[in-house]
Amino acid sequence: MVNKLTKTNIILIIAAMLWGFGFVAQRDGMNYIGPFYYSAIRFGIGVLCLLPVYFLTRKKEQAIKVKLKTVLSAGVVVGLFLFLAVSAQQIGLKTTSAAKAGFITSLYMILVPVFGIFLGHKTKQSIWVSIIIALAGVFFMSISSNFTIEKGDLFELLCAILWAVHFLLIAYYSRRIGAIRLSILQFSVCAVMSFLVAVVAEPISIEAITPAIPALLYGGIGAVGIAYTLHVVALKDANPAYASLILSTESVFAAIGGWFILHESMTSRQLIGAGLILCAVILSQLKKREKV
């Protein structure tokens, strides 16, 4: 019989895999519709997926006594940073590979303790070592031998910064208003803001959605609805730092998905960079785990 720890690890790996292959779905979906239009539909589907989960757990969520104004303001703030992070990621994926996007985005896990300093959090020397290794990885991944960097890589770096802020906001608000309730609100805000931008900046066509349906369904149901729900379920039994270590493997699944599905290739220089970034992420999380 599978014990609780093994079951939790399996759930986390599945979530990481869904998120990793989500980069492939995002890149494929933008072959037919714009990045903001894709995000609007994707997160709209994610909201619909989470509504049944909320109704099943609403008693526990409603047990958290908090004012409606606080709930709404938290949803708007977290949703805004989700929108900014997702937008940067989507725009970056138009000119960079799913593999590079996955590895560069994983830097957010190292940036979290850096930003935590401004909140009074202490950061060990080992974390700074991880940051240096990660920066070296980004250099090899993104900067070519003639010292040029792709525009998409810069957007993915911006995405990593925004994800780090988003992560800290989630950690702060989820305990105060409930994880599922916060997720529905932030996904709703992200979907609405993405749609508003899409109306202004992109062609809106119902017909264009048809060929993008597989990517939209995977992005909305798999990467948003199922993966996030599994993440919440697993964190009930897992140590957060250890869970983060397993979830960092989403960058590996992004690379595998880009290679297997999109037939993307990586140079030896980029493989070295990817390895350095993944090592830095794992090192930072292992050091956290030792404190537990």
Instruction: Name the nearest CA neighbour of 276 among 164, 110, 148.
Output: 110
DSSP class of residue 118 equals G
pLDDT digit string, tens, across residues 163-214: 888 888 887 887 778 778 888 999 999 999 999 999 998 888 888 899 999 9
Q: Which residue is it, tokens 């809106």?
A: 204
User: Strand pairing partners for 149?
Assistant: 143
Instruction: Name the nearest CA neighbour of 199 among 93, 40, 32, 71.
Output: 40
Higher pLDDT: 187 or 261? It is: 187
Whole-number pLDDT of residue 292: 45
What total of structural domains would you count in the chain? 1
pLDDT digit string, tens, across residues 56-90: 877 776 667 778 788 899 899 999 999 999 999 88
Domain that holds residue 278: 4-291
